[in-house]
Structure 1
Amino acid sequence: MSVFLGCCGLSLEADLITRLMTGYNREARPVEDASTAVQVDLDMALAQVIDVNDREQLITINVWLRHFWYDEHLKWNASDYGGITSIRLTSTTIWTPDIILYNNVFDEGFAQQPEVKAIVNSDGYVTFLYPFTFKASCLINVEFFPYDEQSCPLKFSSWAYDGFSLNVTNRAPSGDLSNFIRNEEWTITELRAIRSEAYYSCCPEPYPDVTFYIIMKRESLYYLYYVVAPCIIILIISLLSFAMPPDSGEKLSLSTTMLLALVVFMQIVAENLPTTSRYIPFIGRYFGAIIAVVSLSSMLSIWILSFHFTNPNPKPPATWLKRLL
């Protein structure tokens, strides 16, 4: 009976938790020596890319964050408690590192850390795993849209503790993509983790951080089928207008209609891209070239019609014009 029951009729696990929580202060760092920094290892599993807003330069993702550290105040001898080597404690009852996302964009309903349990081993090793959905700022470079590749950094660090009190390191050189739910627009090629130290004007101490870089490539098939291909067809139809006889009366109206259609396509694409003056996107240059060709086609149609209808008794074209044509 003593194997299963502790003092006061409680189970051994309940007795163990009661002993560990007695006098425990979750506000104090879990070290015996105050000059020792708490070593916190970070890892992240990318579960889903929910949305990438090119215009507002925001990314909405769902991740599984993993924190690992030693709590010197949560140790016990497993043989004294029936061989119990690990227990689960609510994260709000023990010390947890104040790791936050520095480039987080606050929005109602996002970035709310759930109240989950942490796994505590008998040697004081704590494993804290929880899901996290948030919006983060991400500088989107659409110069080569729709063949672009983006790198979105997620910078995690302690807000209150410097590097002498809490040392943050990455557990692995890359994040976990084994449970990633495929996105129809973006292909994730890499999830790189890099540790660095930053110094701020307020404080002389270093502030370590771990940044996960989401490297993703845009799937271009959608834009090729619905945007690029129709524009090529419009260009071909516009050039074929030269084969129409001037007396048909639709030569100029066809070129004008094609030009307006291209302008509408360009506006639709521009509405979904971020406003920038640093470069002209690849697809913008593509539209500009096609609009220039179609505009030139319209001007040549006007010129041909003016030659045809201006003089009822037309003369043979000049020698220089024959050579040009």
Structure 2
Amino acid sequence: MPEASTALRCVGQELAVLLFLVLTQTHTGTLAAVRDTATGTLPLRTPSAWNATWTDRLKKDLLFSYDKYARPAQHTNTTVVSLHVTFRHIDLDEEKSILTVQGWVRMTWTDEKLKWNESDYGGLSVLHVADHEVWQPDIVLYNSATGNVVDHYGNTYCVAYPNGEVVWVPPSQFQVFCDLDLRTWPFDVQSCHLTLGSWTYDGDHVDIHLDKQGSDVEELETNSEWELVGVEETRNVRMYACCVEPYIDITYNLTLRRRSPTYSAIVITPATVIVLLTLASFWLPPTAGEKIILNGCTAIIICIFLMYFSQKLPAMAGHTPLVVLFYSSSLYMVCVATILSVVVVNLACNHHATPLPWLIKNLLTGWMGQVLCLGYLVDQASSMRHNMSSANAEELRDQQAVAFDDHDHMVNSSDDRQMITPQRARVSSQHDWVVLAAAIDRIAFLVYCLLFTILAIVYAV
């Protein structure tokens, strides 16, 4: 009897528990129905079972215990990475001497842990995995200009194949320092380089090879100022004193040429005008004060362009552009030409008490005058002296004709001749000084032509 009472007691407990579960489920359903009635929505249904695809099963099998931080090969084996860069756009910041390169980096390697049999997975031959799911070579830009920012690549998917081959083509941006040589600006050609290599693996673990698939510049977008004229690829094997293992990197040498038609109109044409204005000031009449004004205006133009260069070009220690040196030299020459103009105007306009020395006068009236194209001025001086001689002879005849006049009248005539003759002599002497001033202008013109020719040869680009 005790056993029967114990069994009845167990059955009663089980019935009580079952009744409690039924009441609890009924109460929950009632509350859900009340909520659905209050909100006006239908009761939520339990989602059906999700059907996994072959891709899901393959990724689960391959990546379940995959360690993306471990190189997918034995430590005694070498992972070969094929590298190829396709350049899309280039931009050179002259102020900071930084070259920015945007392109596509194609990296291919073999992952021993990502191999599968296609027939086991419904004939699946390609697997797309995110870049954070699998191992990737730590290839970085050695000469980066962005400091501690080493994430050059965009977050794009990798493509894996049954034989373990993995292809990753991320869009990339590299910034490198470039040693600019602006001496031949704006017709300069710059050379910059990008050095890519593994940051932690030596050549015995990660071997980098060049991938020659396609052209490096086949997708290059046109730059408004720079033209990429050549790319040279080099694979380097370097040995360092600290280590016995070789370290491998890939260097891309980029040759860029500036597109200079606009700069020719902005810089070269004004330089030609400055030279012509400076030379033209020597052909103005010696008595023209406009020579000084013209040289002053030319000096102002040169100063404006030098200010433009200071804003446009960076201040460099050893690579001053030749065009800047040309404008600076031209400014010095214009200043000297202004001083010569002041001297010439002073010689031509001031009245000189002494006549021109006969040695200089003979040179100017001889072969030197012909070489300097002073013939018309010398002819004017000769004509003036001839007229003076004729006037003196006529005065002498007049003196003989009036000899019968009284003594007082003759004294007055003699006084008039004494006043007229020195005045004409001073006019003739002054004209000789004008010829000298014109000769200085002509000599300065020839010297300046020679100097500008030398500057053009020295600063030719």
- Alignment TM-score > 0.5, same fold: yes
Give deviations 1:30-66, integer Å, cap 9, x for gaps. 11x21112111111111111x3122321112211111
The alignment's TM-score, normalised by the length of structure 1, stands at 0.88
Question: 2:97 matched to which residue of 1?
Answer: 57
Distance in 2 separating the partners of 1:302 and 1:78? 95
Matched with 1:139 is 179
Secondary structure of 1:105's match?
coil
Q: 1:174 to 1:146 in 2, by over 3 A?
A: farther
Is residue 211 from structure 1 mapped to residue 236 from structure 2 by the alignment?
Answer: no
Is 2:130–2:156's contact at 8 Å kept on the other side of the alignment? Answer: yes
Q: Aligned equivalents of 2:156 and 2:327: distance in 1? A: 52
1:130 — aligned with what?
170
Letter in 1 for 2:255: I
Secondary structure of the equivalent of 1:304? helix
Would the alpha carbon gap of residues 124 and 110 (structure 1) be closer, same or farther in structure 2, given more than 3 Å must change? closer
How many Å separate the matches in 1 of 2:78 and 2:291?
79
1:241 aligns with 2:281: yes
* Partners of 2:59 and 2:355 in 1: CA distance: 106
* Equivalent position of 1:48 in the other structure: 89
Deviation at 1:96, TM superposition (A): 0.3
Q: Does 1:10 align with 2:52?
A: yes
Q: Report SS of the residue matched to 1:157.
A: strand
Deviations 1:127-154 (A, max 9, x none): 1011112321111112222222111101
> Given the alignment of the two structures, is residue 25 of structure 1 paired with residue 67 of structure 2, yes or no?
yes
Q: Distance in 2 between matches of 1:321 and 1:207?
A: 79
**Any unmatched runs of 5+ in structure 1?**
1-7
Larger Rg: 2
Q: Distance in 2 between matches of 1:29 and 1:108?
A: 24
Instruction: Mark the CA change 1:227 to 1:277 in structure 2 (over 3 Å): closer, same or farther.
Output: same
Match of 1:223 among 263, 271, 281: 263
Equivalence for 2:212: 172
8 Å contact from structure 1 (residues 175, 192) kept in 2: no
- Aligned counterpart, 1:36: 77
2:339 corresponds to which of 282, 294, 299: 299
* Alignment map for 1:245-284 (pairs within 5 Å): 245-284=285-324
Question: Which position in structure 2 is the counterpart of 1:79?
Answer: 119
- 1:248 shift after superposition: 4.4
Structure 2 CA distance, aligned partners of 1:54 and 1:272?
9
Any conservation in 2 of the 1:174–1:193 contact (CA below 8 Å)? no
Larger deviation, residues 134-143 vs 244-253: 244-253
* Residue identity matched to 1:99: I
Query: Are 1:111 and 1:134, in contact at CA under 8 Å, matched by a contact in 2?
Result: no
Which amino acid in 1 is paired with 2:322?
Answer: F
Distance 1:24 1:148 in 2: 52
Aligned-partner SS, 1:71: strand
Q: 1:177 to 1:241 in 2, by over 3 A?
A: same
The 8 Å contact of residues 141 and 150 in structure 2, kept in 1 or not, is answered as no
State the number of aligned residues. Answer: 316
The residue number in structure 2 matching 1:163 is 203
Counterpart residue type for residue 249 of structure 1: G
SS of 1:278's partner is coil
Verify the 8 A CA contact 2:118 2:125 in the aligned structure 1.
yes
Tell me the amino acid that sits aligned with residue 96 of structure 2: E
Q: Which moved more, 1:155-164 or 1:167-176?
A: 167-176
1:35 maps to amino acid: T
Q: Residues 38, 108 of structure 1: CA spacing in aligned structure 2 closer, same or farther, 3 A cutoff?
A: closer
Distance in 2, Cα, partners of 1:80 & 1:320 = 113
Residue 347 of structure 2 aligns to a residue whose secondary structure is: helix
Worse-superposed segment, 219-228 or 300-309: 300-309
Q: Alignment partner of 2:244: what SS?
A: strand
Structure 2 counterpart SS, 1:39: strand
Q: Does structure 1 conserve the Cα–Cα contact (< 8 Å) formed by 2:287 and 2:349?
A: no
Q: 1:184 aligns with which of 224, 227, 231?
A: 224
| 1:232 lines up with 2:272 in the alignment | yes
Is 2:140 aligned against 1:100?
yes
CA distance in 1, matches of 2:151, 2:340: 59
**Is contact 1:111-1:135 (8 Å) kept?**
no
- Any idea what SS the aligned residue of 1:92 has? coil
Pair 320,89 (structure 1): closer, same or farther in 2 beyond 3 Å: farther
- CA 180–14 in structure 1, closer or farther in 2 if over 3 Å, else same: same
Segments of 5+ residues of structure 2 without an aligned counterpart are 1-49, 373-438, 440-461
| Residues 98 and 61 of structure 1, relative CA distance in 2, 3 Å threshold | same
**Contact 1:110–1:133 (CA<8 Å) still a contact in 2?**
no
> Structure 1 residues 140 and 173 mapped into 2: Cα distance closer, same or farther (>3 Å)?
farther
SS in 2 for 1:254: helix
1:303, CA displacement in angstroms? 2.1
Does the C-alpha gap of structure 1 residues 204 and 66 become closer, same or farther in structure 2, counting only changes over 3 Å?
same
2:129 maps to 1:89:
yes
Name the structure with the higher helix share.
Answer: 2
Letter in 1 for 2:64: T
Q: Which moved more, 1:213-222 or 1:244-253?
A: 244-253
Q: TM-score, normalised by structure 2?
A: 0.63
Contact 2:141 2:174 survives alignment (8 Å) = no
User: What are the superposed Cα offsets for residues 70-93 of structure 1, whole Å, 9 maximum, x if unpaired?
Assistant: 111100111222221111100111
3-state SS of the aligned residue for 2:62? helix
